[in-house]
Amino acid sequence: MSQLLRHLRRGLSAPRRFNSTEAASSKVVFSGIQPTGIPHLGNYLGALRQWVDIQSSTPPSAKLIFSIVDLHAITQRQDAESLRRCKKEMLAAILAIGIDPKRSIVFEQSKVMQHAELMWILSCGASTGYLSRMTQWKSKLGVRVDANPFEGKSTAKLKLGLFSYPVLQAADILVHSRATEVPVGEDQAQHLEFTREVAATFHSSYGEVFPLPKTVLSPAHRVMSIRDPLVKMSKSDPQPHSRILLTDTPEEISSKLKKAVTDSIGGVSFDPKNRPGVSNLVQIYAHMQRRDDFENVAMDFGGCNMKALKDRVTECVIEGLKPVREEYERIMKEGDRYLEQVAEDGAIRARESAEETMQLVRNAMGLA
């Protein structure tokens, strides 16, 4: 759900149904990522590093909630042992990048049943017509953007969990903080609009409980495959050399970047359309140094040839990921009990947070 919720910052407002004059009391940050195992460089630069930035920059009064969204993962069939391993690796990586489980709430989505409870409640009012126009299930199934879920081959391949995926995403957004603003990447704007839709539908039946979340587009770092710079870096790519993992050794990083796709044009320039491979390396180098002036970064390389470019990017990535890799190794040596305790403590705190919202929802509906 790194491409699912990105880094979601929200303000916590009192539900107007119960007290329309109470002002927002504190900020709540919620973000989630799917349990794909050890994150790759794209996950880190696109989302996870921002989590650490949020943790270091927000005041102590803010509530920070970071979730491993394993319920989203099972919209596609998962091997049980593989899923357990991937959740463990993802949790260890989240801690290794600098998320402090005492400052932030870190938990597995499936351990907080209020997510699924609110999803069911919202599903009862969700429009199948609206869901049929969502792009998530179409991209997962590889069907046309105008595909009808109730006709033709789409019907046979489409499962209810994938079709209703946006409803669970809406529940994720609403259950902890009843958000008023949710900054997301452009590719997630449709999901936030759907969240507003289901919240409004709930309000039309039961009165206002959730302030309608406002979509605030925010830039996101897109890291492309180093073997095919026209597609995003992904764990699903069958080529291991297409991605750099946060735990890769210096030798592995060097080997992968030596094989990165570039071109035969002399010098270094930033031109994603005509020089996607070179531009991707320039962006990786820039992002690792927290820069976004890509043209200037390219100029800094002067008349470097492709070998020199790859060498400098390799050195930068190795240096930047070294503390993460070392901390990950230390955490894994702690044994399973440490990670289990972090996950359990986080789940307890997340259940308390989500239950505050669900009590208001149940009261509004007559379920309590």
Q: What is the pLDDT of residues 142-162, one digit of tens each?
A: 888 888 888 877 677 889 999
pLDDT of residue 219: 60
Does residue 273 have an active-site annotation? no
Q: What is the pLDDT of residues 275-314, one digit of tens each?
A: 999 999 999 999 999 999 999 999 999 889 999 999 999 9
Residue 37, Ramachandran bin (φ over 0: left; ψ between -120 and 50: alpha; else beta): left
Kindly state the average pLDDT of the residues 340-353. 97
Residue 276 vs residues 282, 290, 314: alpha-carbon distances, Å: 10, 20, 18
Q: Which of 111, 157, 159, 235 is catalytic?
A: 235
Q: How confident is the model at residue 191 (pLDDT cuts 50, 70, 90)?
A: confident
Does residue 235 have an active-site annotation? yes
Does residue 232 have an active-site annotation? yes
**CA-based nearest residue to 8, from 72, 64, 92:** 64
Q: What is the pLDDT of residues 24-70, one digit of tens each?
A: 346 788 888 999 999 999 999 988 998 999 899 989 988 899 999 99
pLDDT of residue 182: 62
* Helices (runs of H) and strands (runs of E) counted in the chain: 17, 6
- With contact defined as beta carbons under 8 Å apart, do 246 and 41 qualify? yes
Mean pLDDT of the chain: 87
Kindly state the average pLDDT of the residues 243-260. 98
Fill in the amino acid letter for 276: P
Which helix (H) or strand (E) covers residue 64, if one does? strand 63-68
Q: Which of 111, 140, 157, 214 is catalytic?
A: 140
